[in-house]
Amino acid sequence: MKLAAYGINEKATHGPDDTIRLARLAEELGYDSWWAGEHVVLPDPADPAQPLEPHEAILDPLVHLAFVAAVTTTLELGTGIIILPQRNPVVLAKEVASLDVLSNGRLHFGVAAGYLAGEMEAVGVSMTDRGARTDEYLDAMQALWADPVRSFSGRFVSFSGVDAFPKPVAPGGPRIVIGGYSRPALRRAVTRGHGWYGADLDPAATAPILQELRELTDQVERPAALGPLDISITPIDPVDAPTAEAYAALGVDRLIVYPRPSDDAAQVERFLCDQAEVVIGATG
């Protein structure tokens, strides 16, 4: 089972010096990848569902990951996740391709439909059509990553007679990871994603979701080119060896551990060291 880090683009560790030091440390410790989440704005007063207080810092994930790419060599990079309906897919396709090229193809492009109404409203996106936008935006971006570009006509975005270079390193674009727990999100992961990402799940909560994903795989068509669905989980708490082994037994491919609270950079460093010793030691 692979080990990854999440959330270092937040709070006390979002500055350049801590980012460089911790990213290089994670690479040395054997972390396979480094993931960054997104919130463009946060509701104030806080929504009970939001992960950060309105005043807490969170860097744009693509900017943060470009910085991390420049100071590492083998550490893979993941957006965990970009809230796709909030983005212009034509502009985002260029940004993602650029980061993928500059990182030598190390990018995992994680997306989800979003869940904070206040954030959606601030960027002018309706909560009711966010799922439809997510699917259409993925189609539009993959059309731009094709060589030559395919024209695209949809409900929310249309283009023809254009091209976009550079293309991502892998033909057709980077690996796509789908986040979310709803039935549509899980179906999207099976039909559109190389991987699925679930956050804040212990083994007991993970098991029924993985069973649902297996059932969906039997019910709907999954393109063979996507390969097996890669499963990534962010645990609720730091994991011990038995918990790491429990995730591995369920078929989890990657634990993306999250140092919370991340109010102290030294505490985050200790967390990364401790989790590497536990997870890599327990699962290889």
Please tell me the distance from the alpha carbon of residue 34 to that of residue 257, in angstroms, as a whole number.
10
Give the H or E element holding residue 110: strand 107-112
Predicted pLDDT at 124: 94
**Bridge partners (DSSP) listed for residue 35:** 6, 78
CA separation for the pair 73, 77 (Å, rounded): 11
* Residues near 59 by beta carbon (within 8 Å), at least 6 away in sequence: 9, 10, 14, 36
Per-residue confidence (pLDDT) for residue 214, from 0 to 100 = 96
Could you please report the per-residue DSSP string of 201-260?
Answer: --HHHHHHHHHHHHHHHHHS---GGG-SPEEEEE-SS---HHHHHHHHHHT--EEEE--S
The residue ranges of DSSP E strands in 9-80, in sequence order, are 33-36, 76-79
Residue carrying the six token digits 């980061």: 99
Closest by CA position to 18, among listed 67, 87, 73: 67
With contact defined as beta carbons under 8 Å apart, do 255 and 200 qualify?
A: no
CA distances from 255 to 19, 44, 56, 158 (A): 20, 31, 25, 38
Instruction: Identify the segments of the chain with pLDDT beneath 70.
Output: none
Q: Provide the residue ranges of all domains of the chain, joining segments of one domain with +.
A: 2-283
Spatial separation of the C-alpha atoms in residues 110 and 112, rounded to whole Å? 7
pLDDT attached to residue 262? 79
* Whole-number pLDDT of residue 66: 98
Contact present, 182 and 235 (Cβ < 8 Å): no
- C-alpha span between 44 and 279 (Å, rounded): 37
Residues 148 and 59: their CA atoms lie apart, in Å, by: 33
- What's residue 261's pLDDT? 75
Q: Which fold has domain 2-283?
A: TIM Barrel (3.20.20)
